[in-house]
């Protein structure tokens, strides 16, 4: 649907009783046939879960368009109100690429890459968080619910509370929260915790993440905790408060993805892909952003050794590795791409024949229909991050396999491993263990595949993304009215 910009002739819209604040708006920009700019909501679990709540409450989504120096007025896309926050090119470099993704991201993922601590980046992070909070405060009606999303905006809850104490504020952290021994390295550790303590409810993917935050709150602010409840003492004229930090594992639009995987065109595409691969008996699949936390190098190393050992190999077995582009202006990601392409080239050079590569490496993104076909195609799904808050790819694979066929090899260092216990769980740092798990998955009988897949599917059906959103918002309502 084309963007509907607000004009002076339209009546002023009333303030929203439900506001989502996220780093990015859930829309993609395109140019229509008539040459006009259009915005369409992005396919994704978060917007699918929140769209009904936004629609019911005349809600608003506050976020960045994704382009630097892009000054846009509020607009509507698919009947959702979008309020853009403008970021300069310098702020994109310092707040987003710098503090968010070169400081917080590696630190919160167990220092899988060295975090960089730059005071200039911190200053930009504070300023951008202040601006997001100001826009949210302006858009929210009296007593509104404001739900802040993810690590880029950890200061927003306290900034909002200082300006609008009438609001009910939730925060959800989509990535891990590190143990205190790692977190304490952050020079601005206290300010970040105090920023989060402005919320009424702080959600995490795993119980361990919530526990890590509770400890940081006790150590750095002197807050008292009892179970998941945090008691914040009065300070600087602000009254004492109670809030809660607890796990709320996110999920996917299971019904929508399963329906997509049943479509004849998607099933036909999966069959077509297998034929194009030469009809191998086993297709292994990895789907990741090209990120050092995803364990792609470890996975390729394990697969390469299985080929070296003669346990697997083309044309009977092939691996498709989708590595979608990610943060390509950041040096660590450029280096990772070089390393991945080097090992893919080595494995293919050692084990491929003409027309039969051992690894099909795809450094690109695909539409949801093609992804569903790939999931259907895959006999074994390899989800082996070194650290991940949840990893929804594992759940997407399970949702597509309504025939109970297929096997999931899953890192125990993902949030998904807490729920999908019947997968073949692995320590991705243990290459021998990963090789054993891959072989076990490849050799699993149809009976064993069904025995494992059935409870996995039950979990993703019962605990879908709508259940996640409803559970969080229900808990937020209980916290703020108790």
Residue 450: pLDDT band (50, 70, 90) is very high
Encode pLDDT of 153-165 as tens digits.
Answer: 999 999 999 999 9
Is the pLDDT confidence value at 347 over 50?
yes
Using CA atoms in the order 313, 314, 320, 323, what is the torsion angle rounded to 10 degrees? 70
Q: What is the CATH number of the domain that holds 432?
A: 3.40.50.2000
Q: Which of 25-29, 54-58, 87-91 bottoms out in mean pLDDT, i.e. has the lowest?
A: 54-58
pLDDT score, position 44: 65
For residues 244-256, average pLDDT: 95
Is the separation of the CB atoms in 220 and 178 below 8 Å? no
The Cα 232–Cα 218 span in angstroms is: 10
pLDDT of 460 reads: 97
Cβ atoms of 319 and 284 within 8 Å: the answer is yes
Is pLDDT of 11 > 60?
no
Whether residue 182 is found in the same domain as residue 294: no
Here the contacts of 368-372 (C-beta below 8 Å, separation 24 or greater) are 368/43, 368/260, 369/260, 369/263, 369/265, 369/266, 369/269, 370/269, 371/287, 371/396, 372/257, 372/260, 372/261, 372/263, 372/266, 372/400
CB atoms closer than 10 angstroms to residue 17: 17
Q: Does 365 share its domain with 320?
A: yes
Span 410-437, mean pLDDT?
A: 98
Sign of CA dihedral 266, 270, 271, 277: positive
Q: What is the pLDDT of residue 126?
A: 98
**pLDDT greater than 70 at residue 12:** no
pTM above threshold 0.75: yes
pLDDT-above-90 percentage for the chain = 82
pLDDT band, residue 31 (cuts 50/70/90): confident
Select which of 94, 150, 288, 388 is catalytic.
Answer: 388
The one catalytic residue among 109, 174, 360, 401:
174
Are 132 and 58 in a shared domain?
Answer: yes
Same domain (yes/no): 182, 202: yes
Do 243 and 265 belong to one domain? no
Q: What is the pLDDT of residue 5?
A: 45
Q: Tens digits of per-residue pLDDT, 74-104?
A: 999 888 899 999 999 999 999 999 999 999 9
Task: Using alpha carbons, list the distances in angstroms from residue 131 to 23, 62, 166.
Answer: 11, 11, 19
More confident residue, 225 or 48: 225
Query: How many domains does the chain divide into?
Result: 2
**pLDDT over threshold 80, residue 171:** yes
Containing structural domain, residue 270: 254-463
Integer angstrom CA distances of residue 188 from 192, 225, 263, 405: 6, 22, 50, 48
| Residue 401 annotated among the catalytic residues of the structure | no
- Decide if pLDDT at 428 tops 60: yes
Can you read off the two tokens belonging to residue 225? 């905790």
Based on the domain organization, do 238 and 358 belong to the same domain?
no
Identify the band that residue 52 occupies on the pLDDT scale cut at 50, 70 and 90. confident
Both 207 and 271 in one domain: the answer is: no
pLDDT of residue 1 exceeding 50, the answer is no
Chain centroid to Cα 158, Å, comes to: 24
User: Could you report how far apart the first and last alpha carbons of the chain are, in Å?
Assistant: 42
The Cα–Cα gap between 470 and 300 comes to: 39
- Domain identity same for 275 and 171: no
My answer on whether 234 and 374 are in the same domain is no
The answer on 139 and 19 residing in a single domain is yes
Q: Indicate the average pLDDT of the chain.
A: 92
Q: How many residues does the chain have?
A: 482
Give the DSSP letter of residue 414: B
Q: Report CA 421 to chain centroid distance, whole Å.
A: 20
When comparing pLDDT for 2 and 269, which is higher?
269
- Please compute the mean of the pLDDT values over residues 440-468 and round it to a whole number: 97
Residue 242 designated active-site? no
Same domain assignment for residues 261 and 405: yes
Residue 397 near residue 322, CB atoms below 8 Å: no
Q: Which residue has the higher pLDDT, 482 or 411?
A: 411
The pLDDT assigned to 480 comes to 61
Tell me: do 213 and 285 sit in the same domain: no
């Amino acid at each position: 649907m084309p963007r509907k910009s607000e004009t002076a002739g339209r009546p002023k819209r009333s303030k929203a009783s439900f506001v989502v604040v996220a780093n990015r708006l859930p829309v993609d920009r395109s140019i229509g046939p008539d040459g006009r700019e259009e915005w369409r909501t992005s396919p994704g679990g978060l917007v699918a879960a929140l769209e009904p709540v936004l629609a019911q409450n005349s809600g608003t989504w506050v976020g960045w368009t994704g382009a630097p120096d892009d000054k846009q007025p509020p607009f509507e896309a698919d009947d959702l109100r979008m309020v853009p926050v403008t970021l300069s090119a310098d702020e994109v470099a310092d707040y987003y690429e710098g503090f968010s993704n070169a400081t917080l991201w590696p630190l919160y993922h167990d220092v899988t890459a060295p975090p960089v601590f730059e005071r200039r980046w911190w200053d930009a992070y504070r300023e951008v968080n202040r601006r997001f909070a100001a826009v949210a405060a302006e858009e929210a009606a009296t007593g509104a619910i404001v739900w802040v999303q993810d690590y880029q905006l950890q200061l927003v809850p306290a900034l909002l509370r200082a300006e609008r104490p009438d609001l009910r504020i939730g925060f959800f952290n989509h990535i891990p929260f590190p143990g205190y021994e790692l977190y304490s390295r952050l020079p601005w550790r206290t300010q970040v915790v105090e920023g989060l303590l402005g919320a009424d409810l702080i959600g995490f993917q795993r119980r361990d993440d919530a526990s890590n935050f509770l400890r940081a709150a006790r150590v750095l602010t002197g807050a008292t905790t009892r179970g998941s409840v945090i008691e914040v003492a009065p300070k600087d004229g602000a009254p004492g408060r109670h809030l809660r930090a607890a796990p709320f594992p996110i999920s996917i639009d299971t019904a929508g993805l399963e329906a997509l995987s049943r479509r004849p065109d998607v099933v036909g595409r999966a069959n077509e892909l297998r034929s194009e691969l030469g009809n191998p008996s086993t297709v292994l699949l990895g789907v990741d952003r090209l990120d050092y936390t995803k364990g792609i190098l470890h996975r390729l190393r394990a697969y390469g050794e299985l080929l070296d050992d003669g346990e697997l190999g083309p044309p009977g077995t092939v691996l498709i590795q989708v590595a979608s582009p990610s943060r390509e202006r950041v040096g660590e990601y450029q280096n990772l791409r070089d390393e991945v392409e080097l090992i893919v080239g080595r494995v293919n050079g050692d084990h491929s024949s003409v027309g039969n590569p051992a690894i099909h490496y795809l450094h690109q993104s695909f539409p949801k229909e093609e992804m569903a076909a790939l999931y259907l195609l895959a006999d074994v799904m390899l989800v082996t991050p070194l650290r991940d808050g949840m990893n929804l790819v594992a759940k997407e694979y399970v949702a597509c396999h309504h025939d109970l066929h297929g096997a999931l090899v899953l890192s125990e260092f993902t949030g998904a491993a807490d729920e999908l216990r019947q997968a073949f769980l692995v320590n991705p740092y243990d290459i021998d263990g990963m090789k054993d798990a891959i072989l076990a998955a490849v050799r699993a009988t149809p009976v064993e595949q069904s025995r494992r897949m059935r409870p996995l599917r039950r979990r993703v059906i019962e605990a879908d993304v709508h259940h996640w959103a409803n559970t969080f918002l229900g808990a937020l309502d209980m916290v703020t009215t108790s």
